[in-house]
Amino acid sequence: MSCSEKEWYKKSFSEEEMKQLSPQLRGGRGYYYQGSVPEQFQLKEAFKMDSTDADLWREFGTARVKRGILDEMYRYYNEAVKRKPEKWAGFRGYLYLYFYRDYERAIADFNLGDEANGQVDYSQGQSHDYMRGISYYGLKEYQTSLDYLDRYIDKVTEEEGESWVDVYAILYKGLALMQLNRLDEAMSEFDRVLKYYPNLSDCFYHKAQIYVARGQFNLAMQELDMAEEYFTKGYFHQRPYVEVLEQIYLQDIQDLKKEISSI
């Protein structure tokens, strides 16, 4: 090869070539653990070639999210959303909702993403209406939460069938109904969840709470026995990295049992 006239090693590239090479470097991150030193060096090389790449800014931010470095996550995601709101606004909203419980900013980002795309969009596989419903629940605006959860549930049910609805959206609908003291309706929603996820400990626990409110303590204890059994087997609402809104724990179940036993 030393005698070849082919240019085997280039040191300089045109602006157009760099914009083409940058995504290739960014796309190679799958070879390294996200946030690792080799992966970050690779991203920095891509950044030298094209600092306007919104996807690259977002990738820098994601590693910070998973390590709890909020100030850097905020800076990188802001740049990503500024350059490509139709793709990354909803993702940032997802982070505001689940990682930081900043519900107002989450709602603003879901609105921004939908406006940019001209439709109710999805981010991280979740409908913005669904996540708006959870956000309003977090703000204690329970009727508004119900409105958005119903919009999501009804749309999926009409287009794909009820079995395609995320069961946790129905779970939050039941919780919002409980907050509004519409206990019969809440019970129906928890039973609807159990139709598709018959082992979900959360539903048995919340049904027990309703039975306690009605003074039906024997039925409440039966539900709590089921809740405890399935919880210990790992069947409860949870997410990686973060605690979910209204997450239950084994102690919650056991404490309610003790409360009933003392009556």
Tokens found for residue 30: 């799958």
Count of C-beta atoms within a 10 Å radius of residue 55: 16
Rounded Cα gap, residues 249 and 118, in angstroms:
40
Q: State yes or no: pLDDT of 1 exceeds 50.
A: no
pTM of the model: 0.86
pLDDT for residue 120: 97
Q: Please write the tens of the pLDDT for every residue from 127-137.
A: 999 999 999 99
pLDDT at 181 (0 to 100) = 98
Kindly report the CATH number that applies to the domain delimited by 14-83: 1.25.40
What does the domain layout of the chain look like in residue ranges? 14-83, 101-192, 199-263
The SS3 of residue 95 is: helix
44 versus 236: the higher-pLDDT residue is 236
- Of 203, 168, 231, which Cα lies nearest the Cα of 211? 203
pLDDT tens digits along 146-175: 999 999 999 999 999 999 999 999 999 999
DSSP 113-136: HHHHHTS--EETTEEHHHHHHHHH
Q: Can you tell me which residue has the tokens 């009727």? A: 143
